[in-house]
């Protein structure tokens, strides 16, 4: 991969109103026009250089969007008030009543619930498939299919989508490949591998401080403009608008994303290798034992590593709960959903973030009850952390 996301992001230079090193925050919901003619042109979609109303766009949101388009190497991007705001806008923009989607079956619980339950009212139907089986994806496509939807690294099982192969399949059927890249910013660049639309929950690694929810859609200028269209745009009409103050703070956090991702990856690799050696069932794309290890190696930007998320299967929900409680008590992290924080976060996906997925489907896809998902933090001394977690496991009889 020769696209240099981090260098390009750091090269983006925005001066504040008084020469500040950060851009000024646009503290207005509405904007004045010198001439009435410019206002009517702006309503008709000719918004070049003019701001109309902050649900449509604002200077702070456009700066952040530009940085995110630069991250993914797409023409353009729109930011949202949450990852779900971004995901639902894309799906509702591209699908009409009676349409069909093909989606990975291992996706974020909220996305799964939206596709499985919510869009039913529009008679939009989804086939959920094993995204690593290209043949199954291909067989699920019908003349009514409007997109292939997946996560680059799936939640919570960390399956790796073969983006090049999926993009080729989508192209053949003249439909977009939509990839949620929340788990793997910088390390996977889906648009560079052929995806048409890339989505992130900025809430996670990209913001990295667990203080806000936000999302983004990266794609072509045409698609981003269609989302903001005052007559037909899902972003404009559903109104999931990010506040300028939050956009400004997320942009500042993005400046250190490359350093954080490298550290998250380094720490997760260390823990996963050592817990695997200890005989635990560990899922991490950086392990040779992971079914998608070679696929990940092929499509990743090597310097950012295999990401900060790993799972451990400790056998039963009771053990998982006891371990998480003890780890929190010993200040090893927090028993909390979400990911990408400086501190390790852990949860049992079967009873939390993936609980929207029915039990029998969870079993089918290998999502067992004793599974703990860990978002590994930025611990400075990861060997010390490893020893402390291991001590918790020994004290609970998970390891001897």
Ligand X SMILES: *Cc1c(COP(=O)(O)O)cnc(C)c1O
- Could you list the residues that contact ligand X (CB under 6 A)? 82-84, 108, 110-111, 151, 155, 180, 182-183, 201, 203-204, 213, 215
**Complex with ligand X: residue 93 or 111, whichever CB lies closer:** 111
User: 310 forms bridges with which residues in the sheet?
Assistant: 374
**Which residue number, 169 or 213, has a Cβ lying nearer to ligand X?**
213
CB closer to ligand X out of 152 and 170: 152
Our CB check for ligand X shows the closer of 23 and 156 to be 156
Q: Minimum distance from CB of 346 to ligand X (Å)? A: 14
Q: Given the complex with ligand X, which of 51 and 114 has the nearer CB atom?
A: 114
- Bridge-based pairing state of the strands 334-335 and 345-347: parallel
Q: Residue 227 CB, nearest distance to ligand X (Å)? A: 16
Question: Nearest distance from residue 79's CB to ligand X, in Å?
Answer: 11
Smallest distance from ligand X to CB 13, Å: 28
For residue 110, give both structure tokens. Answer: 């909220």
What the block records as the tokens of 113 is: 């619930």
Query: Are the CB atoms for 396 and 366 separated by under 8 Å?
Result: no
Minimum CB distance to ligand X smaller for 156 or for 233 = 156
Task: Give the residue nearest to ligand X (CB).
Answer: 83
Quick one: how far is CA 360 from the chain centroid? 26
Whether the CB-CB separation of 71 and 254 falls below 8 Å is answered with yes
Which residues are paired to 347 by β-bridges? 373
Strand partners, 104: 129
Best CA proximity match to 207, nearest among 238, 245, 153, 163:
245
User: What are the backbone angles phi and psi of residue 194, rounded to the nearest 5°?
Assistant: 115, -5
- Between residues 71 and 382, which has the closer beta carbon with respect to ligand X? 71
Kindly state the smallest distance separating residue 182's Cβ from ligand X, in Å: 4
Shortest reach from residue 274's CB to ligand X, in Å: 26
How many Cβ atoms sit within 10 Å of the Cβ of residue 111?
A: 23
Query: With the C-alpha atoms ordered 233, 183, 140, 165, is the resulting torsion angle positive or negative?
Result: positive
| Burial environment of residue 109 by CB neighbours within 10 A (0 to 12, 13 to 18, 19 or more) | middle
Beta carbon of residue 103, minimum distance to ligand X (angstroms, whole number)? 12
Instruction: Select 376 or 382, whichever has its Cβ closest to ligand X.
Output: 376
Question: Rounded to the nearest whole angstrom, what is the least distance from the CB of residue 207 to ligand X in the complex?
Answer: 9
Q: Does residue 115 contact residue 126 with C-beta atoms inside 8 Å?
A: yes
What is the radius of gyration, based on Cα positions, of the chain?
21
Nearest to 95 by CA among 33, 147, 28: 147
């Amino acid at each position: 991969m020769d696209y240099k996301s981090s260098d390009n992001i750091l090269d983006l230079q925005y001066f504040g109103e008084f020469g500040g090193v950060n851009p000024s925050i646009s503290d207005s919901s509405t904007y004045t026009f010198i001439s009435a003619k410019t206002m009517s042109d702006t309503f008709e979609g000719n918004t070049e250089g003019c701001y109309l109303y902050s649900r449509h766009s604002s200077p702070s949101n456009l700066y952040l969007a530009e940085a995110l388009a630069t991250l993914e190497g797409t023409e353009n991007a729109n930011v949202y008030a949450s990852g779900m705001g971004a995901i639902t806008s894309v799906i509702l923009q591209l699908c009409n009543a009676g349409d069909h989607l093909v989606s990975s079956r291992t996706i974020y619980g909220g996305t799964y619930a939206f596709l499985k339950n919510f869009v039913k009212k529009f008679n939009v139907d989804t086939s959920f498939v094993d995204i690593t089986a290209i043949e199954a994806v291909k067989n699920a496509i019908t003349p009514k299919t409007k997109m292939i939807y997946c996560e680059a690294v799936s939640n919570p099982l960390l399956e790796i989508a073969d983006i090049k192969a999926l993009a080729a399949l989508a192209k053949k059927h003249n439909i977009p490949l939509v990839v949620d890249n929340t788990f793997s910013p910088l390390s996977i660049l889906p648009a560079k591998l052929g995806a048409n639309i890339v989505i992130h929950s900025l809430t996670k690694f990209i913001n990295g401080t667990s203080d806000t929810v936000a999302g983004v859609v990266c794609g072509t200028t045409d698609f981003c403009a269609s989302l903001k269209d005052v007559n037909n745009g899902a972003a404009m009409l559903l109104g999931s608008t990010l506040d300028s103050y939050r956009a400004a703070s997320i942009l500042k956090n993005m400046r250190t994303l490359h350093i954080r991702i490298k550290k998250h990856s380094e720490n997760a690799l260390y823990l996963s290798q050592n817990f695997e050696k200890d005989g635990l069932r560990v899922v991490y794309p950086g392990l040779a034992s992971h079914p998608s290890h070679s696929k990940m190696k092929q499509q990743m930007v090597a310097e950012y590593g295999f990401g900060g998320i790993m799972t451990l299967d400790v056998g039963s929900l009771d053990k998982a709960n006891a371990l998480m409680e003890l780890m929190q008590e010993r200040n090893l992290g927090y028993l909390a959903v979400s990911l990408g924080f400086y501190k390790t976060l852990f949860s049992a996906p079967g009873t939390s973030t993936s609980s929207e997925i029915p039990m029998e489907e969870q079993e089918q896809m290998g999502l067992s009850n004793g599974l703990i998902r860990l978002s590994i933090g930025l611990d400075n001394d990861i060997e010390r952390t490893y020893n402390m977690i291991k001590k918790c496991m020994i004290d609970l009889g998970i390891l001897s």
